[in-house]
Amino acid sequence: MFAFSTLISWSYYGNRSATFLFGDKASKVYNIIFTLVVFGGSIGGLELIWDIADTLNGLMAIPNLIGLVCLSGVVAKATKDYFQRRKDANYVEINRTYTDFM
């Protein structure tokens, strides 16, 4: 039961992501690819499936690492500003967005 609900949820999340990134036409293409991959996974060997899953999880780290590198300057400025305000005698905690750093 858990495997079936996981398939449904990942299918939905992927479908929504494909639609958001590539438009409504991508939904049908994604569903076809997802169905083929699920079928292939059901008849493939366990070691092959784990190797593919590990590779794809590793590849998902690449955009996150790029984002970290691109935002490192923004985070450094926001952190420096935060600690500078903490040192001020009249420090007041506020909810503030850091759009002025970007």
* Per-residue pLDDT reduced to its tens digit, 74-99: 989 988 888 887 787 666 666 666 55
Range name among 29-38, 40-49, 68-77, 80-89 with the lowest pLDDT average: 80-89
Alpha carbon 41 to its chain centroid, in Å, reads: 23
Range name among 32-41, 45-54, 61-70, 91-100 with the lowest pLDDT average: 91-100
Q: What is the pLDDT of residue 86?
A: 79
Alpha carbon 22 to its chain centroid, in Å, reads: 16
- Give the predicted TM-score (pTM) of the model: 0.57
Instruction: State the DSSP code for 51.
Output: H
If one counts every other C-beta atom within 10 angstroms of the C-beta of residue 52, the result is 14
- Calculate mean pLDDT across residues 69-76: 91
